[in-house]
Amino acid sequence: MAAVSGCAAPFAGPNAAPFLRRKSPHAPFSATYSGFRIGPRAPIYVGNRRGSLRRSPRCEAGVDLAEDRTASRASSFSALEQFKISADRYMKERSSIAVIGLSVHTAPVEMREKLAVPEAQWPRAIEELCSLNHIEEAAVLSTCNRMEIYVVALSWHRGIREVTEWMAKTSGIPVSELRQHLFMLRDSDATQHLFEVSAGLDSLVLGEGQILAQVKQVVRIGQGSRGLGKNVDRMFKDAITAGKRVRSETNISSGAVSVSSAAVELALMKFPKSHLPSARMLVIGAGKMGKLVIKHLAAKGCKRIMVVNRSVEKVDAIREEMKDVEIIYKPFTDMLSSAAEADVVFTSTASETPLFLKEHVKTLPPVSNAIGGARFFIDISVPRNIGSCVSDLECARVYNVDDLKEVVEANKEDRLRKAMEAKAIITQELKRFEAWRDSLETVPTIKKLRSYADRIKASELEKCLQKIGDDALTKKMRKAIEELSSGIVNKLLHGPLQHLRCDGSDSRTLDETLENMHALNRMFSLDTEKAILEQKIKAKVEKTQS
């Protein structure tokens, strides 16, 4: 699926209404939160103070994002310092995992293409998101059907506000319009949504396999940047595991169609059946999507397909794989002349500008009246390869990815039954991830307790050595005393530390571990939560200054 690049009013404060759940992934949103649609299942792109990503020419409301770097840095530093001053307000607020975005279920293709982020620009998007004051980790998942941003936010309300402002600023979409289509999910809801996306449950076509490869790509690209921290990295890897299990342990992929096959099915539904055998097919783009279109056309009995691509190598590879089909290669310079010879045109390229506009299609020779006198354009690219203006012509019938819903509605009951089987697996994987994340809470306490004991040991050891005197101490005696003190401390700490270690696999043990953690924090006045928060704030301030 071709991907592309793409604020919100301030959120209510701590006294705002609680987060609301949506009953099903595709159910309509019935509640709003600070003006945004809220639901539990369910992604995105914007510039920060250092600039923005390159925008698509489709963005009518272009925004000049060039800002003064020095002034912006000073502003961010001031904001962080202010946050540090009032940090005790958020002492009990745990960092939240969140997903903010939109998909084929919540937004039309006209909006998705403005927010889409090309894969090559994902690292820069992650860098910009992590430079926001309250965002610790980030990942971007942008496909033709969705644009989703996953983050770990130091403060839920402020983090969400910063990300949504970033999205609106870079897309040029007014806040009032953007908020009608955005969804945002928190913690377990956000994680469950990603697991369902990876398993193909949130796809336009249930069980669609390409999304799993795209989730893997997020991890591969994200690991090359500093934004994919341990929480987001583990979440995406567990989502990949869930996606693999769903496909191997259920028959959700059996009979499932991809976006490419749905596009072919749509063309066959709309094209006069009596003329299908002689229909002239043109595929523009020989990437993954284009190759699948060619395969599905061949499976439907098409024996001759014209392919327009920038290079011949990919077309030659397809030709080698499908020797029973006559595949005719044409360079991009022959695109219009090739379209003049076609009855049906499939487009699947990563072009950020339309390949066909009204003036191009108007000059093409008419097709036979036997097929309705109109040329079919099936556009499965985001951003779209066929300009919306082409739909105004009587000589053209234009369909895009949003029109595939008509194909997908078939066998709805069977798809729902398969989804229920998959959700049982997702629930298991979700519990594993949440238990792992909960177990991380004890790590700071372990470090803090060890540091506390080591300070006492060092202080008392120094007093002891001073009383004995250097003249009376040999190296062997000093080493024995140091080992004695370390041994006593280690044996005393062994019991408490054992009760703080948990792999997260047993919920009962995990609950007991967290109780032990809170008890030790109280008994030794470790102030772990305060220390963690101060460390995070310090890291953000230092990053802003660098």
Catalytic (active-site) positions: 144
Please give the DSSP secondary-structure letter assigned to residue 227.
-
Cα–Cα distance measured from residue 445 to residue 16, given in angstroms and rounded to the nearest whole number:
31
Buried b (16+ CB within 10 A) or exposed e, 120-149: ebbbbbbebbbbbbbbbbbbbbbbbbbbbb
Give, as one character, the DSSP assignment of residue 174: -
- In 210-312, DSSP assigns E strands to 281-284, 304-308
Distance of alpha carbon 331 from alpha carbon 213, whole angstroms: 29
Say how far residue 151 (Cα) sits from the centre of its chain.
9
Kindly give the interhelix angle for 230-249 and 210-222, rounded to the nearest 10 degrees: 160
Q: Which helix (H) or strand (E) is 196 found in, with range?
A: helix 188-199
State how far the Cα of 124 lies from the Cα of 97, in Å rounded to an integer. 20
Interacting residues of 146 by C-beta distance below 8 A, sequence separation 6+: 43, 101, 102, 103, 104, 112, 197, 202
User: Where are the strands (E) in 70-133, listed by range?
Assistant: 96-103
Residue 198, H or E segment: helix 188-199
- Among residues 356, 347, 374, the alpha carbon closest in space to that of 259 is found at 347
Q: Quick check: helix, strand or coil at residue 328? A: strand
CA-to-CA dists, residue 323 to 296, 329, 476, 529, angstroms:
14, 14, 82, 65
How many CB atoms within 10 Å of residue 279?
19
**Helical spans, DSSP H, in 382-441:** 405-408, 412-439
Q: How far apart are CA 383 and CA 400, in angstroms?
A: 10
- The residues facing 379 across adjacent strands are 347
Q: Which residues, 6+ apart, have CB-to-CB distance to 333 below 8 Å?
A: none
Burial of 481 (0-12, 13-18, 19+ CB in 10 A): middle
